[in-house]
A and B are shown apart, each in its own frame.
Chain A
Protein backbone atom coordinates (compact mmCIF):
# COMPACT_ATOMS: atom_id res chain seq x y z
CA UNK A 1 0.00 0.00 0.00
CA UNK A 2 1.42 3.42 -0.93
CA UNK A 3 1.75 6.10 1.75
CA UNK A 4 -0.95 8.17 0.06
CA UNK A 5 -3.57 5.41 0.14
CA UNK A 6 -2.46 4.50 3.66
CA UNK A 7 -3.08 8.09 4.77
CA UNK A 8 -6.42 8.18 2.96
CA UNK A 9 -7.57 5.06 4.78
CA UNK A 10 -6.32 6.54 8.05
CA UNK A 11 -8.30 9.71 7.43
CA UNK A 12 -11.39 7.55 6.87
CA UNK A 13 -10.87 6.24 10.46
CA UNK A 14 -10.08 2.69 9.38
CA UNK A 15 -9.23 0.97 12.71
CA UNK A 16 -7.00 -1.73 11.19
CA UNK A 17 -4.87 0.89 9.44
CA UNK A 18 -4.58 2.90 12.65
CA UNK A 19 -3.40 -0.21 14.48
CA UNK A 20 -0.85 -0.76 11.71
CA UNK A 21 0.33 2.85 12.08
CA UNK A 22 0.79 2.42 15.84
CA UNK A 23 2.66 -0.86 15.42
CA UNK A 24 4.93 0.76 12.81
CA UNK A 25 5.88 3.81 14.87
CA UNK A 26 5.37 2.90 18.54
CA UNK A 27 8.98 1.82 19.14
CA UNK A 28 10.51 4.99 17.78
CA UNK A 29 7.94 7.25 19.43
CA UNK A 30 8.42 5.50 22.77
CA UNK A 31 12.20 5.68 22.42
CA UNK A 32 12.00 9.41 21.63
CA UNK A 33 9.85 9.94 24.73
CA UNK A 34 12.31 7.92 26.85
CA UNK A 35 15.12 10.14 25.57
CA UNK A 36 13.35 13.27 26.75
CA UNK A 37 11.69 12.19 29.97
CA UNK A 38 13.71 9.09 31.02
CA UNK A 39 10.88 7.87 33.22
CA UNK A 40 9.43 4.72 31.59
CA UNK A 41 5.85 5.15 32.81
CA UNK A 42 5.78 8.84 31.82
CA UNK A 43 7.29 7.94 28.43
CA UNK A 44 4.52 5.43 27.74
CA UNK A 45 1.91 7.92 28.85
CA UNK A 46 3.29 10.55 26.46
CA UNK A 47 3.60 7.99 23.64
CA UNK A 48 -0.10 7.22 24.08
CA UNK A 49 -0.90 10.94 23.99
CA UNK A 50 1.10 11.22 20.76
CA UNK A 51 -1.01 8.58 19.01
CA UNK A 52 -4.24 10.07 20.36
CA UNK A 53 -3.14 13.45 18.95
CA UNK A 54 -2.20 11.77 15.65
CA UNK A 55 -5.66 10.16 15.50
CA UNK A 56 -7.39 13.48 16.23
CA UNK A 57 -5.29 15.53 13.81
CA UNK A 58 -5.19 13.10 10.87
CA UNK A 59 -7.79 15.15 9.02
CA UNK A 60 -5.49 18.19 9.26
CA UNK A 61 -2.46 16.32 7.89
CA UNK A 62 -1.73 17.85 4.48
CA UNK A 63 1.21 15.65 3.51
CA UNK A 64 3.75 18.53 3.54
CA UNK A 65 6.23 16.25 5.30
CA UNK A 66 6.57 12.50 5.60
CA UNK A 67 4.03 10.89 7.94
CA UNK A 68 6.82 9.58 10.20
CA UNK A 69 8.37 13.08 10.45
CA UNK A 70 4.97 14.54 11.33
CA UNK A 71 4.48 11.93 14.06
CA UNK A 72 7.94 12.54 15.59
CA UNK A 73 7.31 16.28 15.52
CA UNK A 74 4.17 15.67 17.58
CA UNK A 75 6.17 13.39 19.89
CA UNK A 76 8.87 16.03 20.47
CA UNK A 77 6.25 18.72 21.16
CA UNK A 78 4.41 16.45 23.60
CA UNK A 79 7.67 15.68 25.42
CA UNK A 80 8.53 19.38 25.66
CA UNK A 81 5.03 20.12 26.99
CA UNK A 82 5.54 17.42 29.60
CA UNK A 83 8.93 18.84 30.63
CA UNK A 84 7.46 22.37 30.90
CA UNK A 85 4.61 21.04 33.03
CA UNK A 86 7.07 19.17 35.25
CA UNK A 87 9.15 22.33 35.70
CA UNK A 88 6.05 24.32 36.64
CA UNK A 89 5.16 21.59 39.13
CA UNK A 90 8.68 21.72 40.57
CA UNK A 91 8.49 25.50 40.99
CA UNK A 92 5.08 25.20 42.63
CA UNK A 93 6.34 22.41 44.89
CA UNK A 94 9.32 24.57 45.82
CA UNK A 95 7.02 27.45 46.77
CA UNK A 96 4.85 25.06 48.73
CA UNK A 97 7.89 23.70 50.55
CA UNK A 98 8.90 27.29 51.40
CA UNK A 99 5.50 27.99 52.86
CA UNK A 100 5.73 24.67 54.70
CA UNK A 101 2.66 23.21 53.03
CA UNK A 102 4.26 20.15 51.54
CA UNK A 103 7.54 18.31 51.43
CA UNK A 104 9.39 18.78 48.10
CA UNK A 105 10.13 15.08 47.70
CA UNK A 106 6.42 14.24 47.82
CA UNK A 107 5.58 16.11 44.62
CA UNK A 108 8.58 15.29 42.44
CA UNK A 109 8.57 12.14 40.32
CA UNK A 110 11.09 9.44 41.14
CA UNK A 111 14.21 9.68 38.97
CA UNK A 112 14.42 6.92 36.42
CA UNK A 113 16.80 6.16 33.62
CA UNK A 114 16.40 5.41 29.91
CA UNK A 115 15.73 1.65 29.69
CA UNK A 116 18.22 1.19 26.85
CA UNK A 117 21.30 2.23 28.83
CA UNK A 118 23.74 -0.48 29.84
CA UNK A 119 23.89 -1.20 33.57
CA UNK A 120 27.51 -0.09 33.94
CA UNK A 121 26.72 3.31 32.37
CA UNK A 122 23.55 4.03 34.34
CA UNK A 123 25.08 6.16 37.09
CA UNK A 124 26.94 8.35 34.61
CA UNK A 125 23.93 8.54 32.27
CA UNK A 126 21.78 9.71 35.18
CA UNK A 127 24.20 12.59 35.77
CA UNK A 128 24.27 13.34 32.03
CA UNK A 129 20.45 13.36 31.71
CA UNK A 130 20.28 15.70 34.67
CA UNK A 131 22.74 18.00 32.89
CA UNK A 132 20.78 17.75 29.59
CA UNK A 133 17.69 18.81 31.54
CA UNK A 134 19.43 22.10 32.35
CA UNK A 135 20.10 23.00 28.70
CA UNK A 136 18.02 25.58 26.84
CA UNK A 137 15.06 23.93 25.06
CA UNK A 138 16.36 24.07 21.48
CA UNK A 139 19.77 22.69 22.46
CA UNK A 140 18.10 19.96 24.48
CA UNK A 141 15.94 18.91 21.51
CA UNK A 142 18.81 18.89 19.01
CA UNK A 143 21.21 17.08 21.36
CA UNK A 144 18.65 14.46 22.45
CA UNK A 145 17.56 13.68 18.90
CA UNK A 146 21.17 13.40 17.81
CA UNK A 147 22.76 11.50 20.70
CA UNK A 148 19.90 9.53 22.23
CA UNK A 149 17.80 8.96 19.13
CA UNK A 150 20.87 8.82 16.90
CA UNK A 151 19.07 10.72 14.14
CA UNK A 152 21.01 12.31 11.31
CA UNK A 153 21.26 16.11 11.13
CA UNK A 154 18.95 16.01 8.10
CA UNK A 155 16.28 14.12 10.05
CA UNK A 156 16.61 16.56 12.96
CA UNK A 157 16.11 19.45 10.53
CA UNK A 158 12.94 17.82 9.17
CA UNK A 159 11.48 17.18 12.63
CA UNK A 160 12.37 20.50 14.24
CA UNK A 161 12.12 22.74 11.20
CA UNK A 162 15.56 24.26 11.96
CA UNK A 163 18.15 24.79 9.25
CA UNK A 164 21.16 22.48 8.98
CA UNK A 165 23.55 25.15 10.23
CA UNK A 166 21.27 25.86 13.21
CA UNK A 167 21.21 22.17 14.15
CA UNK A 168 25.01 21.94 13.91
CA UNK A 169 25.41 25.05 16.01
CA UNK A 170 22.82 23.90 18.59
CA UNK A 171 24.52 20.54 19.05
CA UNK A 172 27.95 22.17 19.32
CA UNK A 173 26.71 24.64 21.95
CA UNK A 174 24.82 21.90 23.79
CA UNK A 175 28.03 19.86 24.05
CA UNK A 176 30.00 22.89 25.28
CA UNK A 177 27.34 23.68 27.88
CA UNK A 178 27.19 20.07 29.01
CA UNK A 179 30.98 20.03 29.45
CA UNK A 180 30.71 23.13 31.61
CA UNK A 181 27.80 21.78 33.71
CA UNK A 182 29.55 18.43 34.19
CA UNK A 183 32.89 20.11 34.95
CA UNK A 184 31.24 22.11 37.74
CA UNK A 185 29.52 18.99 39.00
CA UNK A 186 32.71 16.93 39.20
CA UNK A 187 34.72 19.84 40.58
CA UNK A 188 32.44 19.88 43.60
CA UNK A 189 32.04 16.14 43.74
CA UNK A 190 35.67 14.94 43.45
Chain B
Protein backbone atom coordinates (compact mmCIF):
# COMPACT_ATOMS: atom_id res chain seq x y z
CA UNK B 1 0.00 0.00 0.00
CA UNK B 2 2.73 2.43 1.05
CA UNK B 3 4.67 1.34 -2.00
CA UNK B 4 1.68 2.25 -4.20
CA UNK B 5 1.38 5.71 -2.65
CA UNK B 6 5.08 6.27 -3.19
CA UNK B 7 4.77 5.18 -6.83
CA UNK B 8 1.76 7.43 -7.43
CA UNK B 9 3.57 10.42 -5.91
CA UNK B 10 6.55 9.70 -8.10
CA UNK B 11 4.32 9.67 -11.20
CA UNK B 12 2.64 12.93 -10.11
CA UNK B 13 6.00 14.65 -9.67
CA UNK B 14 7.32 13.37 -12.98
CA UNK B 15 4.17 14.66 -14.73
CA UNK B 16 4.45 18.05 -13.04
CA UNK B 17 8.04 18.25 -14.21
CA UNK B 18 7.17 17.35 -17.80
CA UNK B 19 6.97 21.06 -18.64
CA UNK B 20 10.57 21.63 -17.58
CA UNK B 21 12.72 22.67 -20.53
CA UNK B 22 9.73 23.36 -22.73
CA UNK B 23 10.82 25.06 -25.95
CA UNK B 24 9.12 28.16 -27.30
CA UNK B 25 6.61 27.42 -30.01
CA UNK B 26 6.85 29.64 -33.07
CA UNK B 27 4.36 30.20 -35.88
CA UNK B 28 5.51 29.49 -39.42
CA UNK B 29 7.02 32.08 -41.73
CA UNK B 30 3.73 32.94 -43.44
CA UNK B 31 1.96 34.07 -40.27
CA UNK B 32 1.87 37.74 -41.29
CA UNK B 33 0.71 36.90 -44.84
CA UNK B 34 -2.21 34.90 -43.47
CA UNK B 35 -3.01 37.59 -40.91
CA UNK B 36 -2.99 40.28 -43.62
CA UNK B 37 -5.27 38.19 -45.85
CA UNK B 38 -7.70 37.68 -42.97
CA UNK B 39 -7.71 41.39 -42.13
CA UNK B 40 -8.37 42.30 -45.78
CA UNK B 41 -11.16 39.73 -45.94
CA UNK B 42 -12.79 41.09 -42.78
CA UNK B 43 -12.41 44.67 -43.99
CA UNK B 44 -14.11 44.10 -47.37
CA UNK B 45 -17.76 45.29 -47.14
CA UNK B 46 -20.43 42.64 -46.91
CA UNK B 47 -23.25 42.86 -49.51
CA UNK B 48 -26.23 44.76 -48.08
CA UNK B 49 -29.97 44.47 -48.85
CA UNK B 50 -29.77 47.67 -50.92
CA UNK B 51 -27.01 46.16 -53.05
CA UNK B 52 -29.26 43.16 -53.66
CA UNK B 53 -32.22 45.36 -54.59
CA UNK B 54 -30.13 47.43 -56.99
CA UNK B 55 -28.97 44.39 -58.95
CA UNK B 56 -29.91 44.76 -62.69
CA UNK B 57 -30.86 41.05 -62.88
CA UNK B 58 -33.52 41.61 -60.19
CA UNK B 59 -34.85 44.68 -62.08
CA UNK B 60 -35.15 42.76 -65.36
CA UNK B 61 -36.85 39.83 -63.61
CA UNK B 62 -39.46 42.13 -62.03
CA UNK B 63 -40.05 43.89 -65.41
CA UNK B 64 -40.52 40.49 -67.08
CA UNK B 65 -43.11 39.39 -64.50
CA UNK B 66 -45.01 42.69 -64.86
CA UNK B 67 -45.00 42.37 -68.67
CA UNK B 68 -46.37 38.81 -68.43
CA UNK B 69 -49.14 39.90 -66.03
CA UNK B 70 -50.09 42.81 -68.29
CA UNK B 71 -50.25 40.58 -71.34
CA UNK B 72 -52.42 38.08 -69.46
CA UNK B 73 -54.87 40.76 -68.32
CA UNK B 74 -54.99 42.36 -71.79
CA UNK B 75 -55.73 39.01 -73.49
CA UNK B 76 -58.46 38.10 -71.00
CA UNK B 77 -60.19 41.45 -71.61
CA UNK B 78 -60.07 40.99 -75.42
CA UNK B 79 -62.12 37.70 -75.43
CA UNK B 80 -65.96 38.15 -75.22
CA UNK B 81 -67.48 36.40 -72.28
CA UNK B 82 -70.11 33.96 -73.72
CA UNK B 83 -69.61 30.99 -71.54
CA UNK B 84 -71.81 32.37 -68.70
CA UNK B 85 -74.96 32.68 -70.89
CA UNK B 86 -74.38 29.24 -72.45
CA UNK B 87 -74.16 27.64 -69.04
CA UNK B 88 -77.43 29.24 -67.96
CA UNK B 89 -79.38 27.94 -71.03
CA UNK B 90 -78.07 24.41 -70.68
CA UNK B 91 -78.98 24.38 -66.97
CA UNK B 92 -82.57 25.44 -67.71
CA UNK B 93 -82.88 22.74 -70.37
CA UNK B 94 -81.55 20.10 -67.98
CA UNK B 95 -84.02 21.12 -65.24
CA UNK B 96 -86.94 21.12 -67.72
CA UNK B 97 -86.13 17.61 -68.93
CA UNK B 98 -85.75 16.35 -65.36
CA UNK B 99 -89.20 17.61 -64.32
CA UNK B 100 -90.69 16.84 -67.76
CA UNK B 101 -91.63 20.39 -68.40
CA UNK B 102 -91.93 22.01 -71.72
CA UNK B 103 -90.07 25.09 -72.11
CA UNK B 104 -92.26 27.57 -73.88
CA UNK B 105 -91.00 30.48 -75.68
CA UNK B 106 -92.24 33.44 -73.79
CA UNK B 107 -93.51 36.15 -75.88
CA UNK B 108 -93.90 39.52 -74.57
CA UNK B 109 -96.00 42.03 -76.37
Does B39 sit at the interface, judged by CB under 8 A?
yes
Does B4 sit at the interface, judged by CB under 8 A?
yes
Interface residues of chain A: helix, strand, loop or mixed (majority): helix
Does A1 sit at the interface, judged by CB under 8 A?
no
- Band of interface residues on B: 20 to 34
Q: State A31–B25 Cα separation when bound (angstroms).
A: 5
Q: State A34–B23 Cα separation when bound (angstroms).
A: 11
Q: Closest B-chain residue to A181, C-beta based?
A: B12
Task: Tell whether, in the assembled complex, residue B18 and residue A125 are in contact, meaning their CB atoms are under 8 Å apart.
Answer: yes
Partner of A23 from the list B4, B12, B32, B34 (CB cut-off 8 Å) is B32
Instruction: Give B8-31 interface residues, CB cut-off 8 Å to A.
Output: 8-9, 11-12, 14-16, 18-19, 21-27, 31
Task: Tell whether, in the assembled complex, residue B22 and residue A27 are in contact, meaning their CB atoms are under 8 Å apart.
Answer: no
Task: Tell whether, in the assembled complex, residue A187 and residue B8 are in contact, meaning their CB atoms are under 8 Å apart.
Answer: yes
Does B67 sit at the interface, judged by CB under 8 A?
no
Q: State A118–B25 Cα separation when bound (angstroms).
A: 12
Contact of A179 with B16 at beta-carbon distance under 8 Å, contacts A26-B27, A48-B38, A116-B24 already known: yes
Contact of A55 with B31 at beta-carbon distance under 8 Å, contacts A43-B25, A124-B18 already known: no
Contacts of B34 in A (CB 8 A): 44, 48
Task: Tell whether, in the assembled complex, residue B39 and residue A55 are in contact, meaning their CB atoms are under 8 Å apart.
Answer: yes
Contacts of A51 in B (CB 8 A): 35
Q: State A131–B27 Cα separation when bound (angstroms).
A: 25
Does A85 sit at the interface, judged by CB under 8 A?
no
Q: State A19–B15 Cα separation when bound (angstroms).
A: 39
Q: Closest A-chain residue to B7, C-beta based?
A: A190
Instruction: Give A48-87 interface residues, CB cut-off 8 Å to B.
Output: 48, 51-52, 55
* Extra 17 A-B pairs, beta carbons < 8 Å, given A48-B31, A117-B22, A128-B16: A22-B35, A27-B24, A28-B24, A30-B27, A116-B24, A117-B18, A118-B22, A121-B18, A127-B15, A178-B16, A179-B12, A182-B15, A183-B8, A183-B12, A186-B8, A186-B11, A190-B11
Minimum-distance CB pairs A-B, first 8: A116-B23, A124-B18, A121-B18, A115-B25, A34-B25, A182-B12, A30-B27, A116-B25
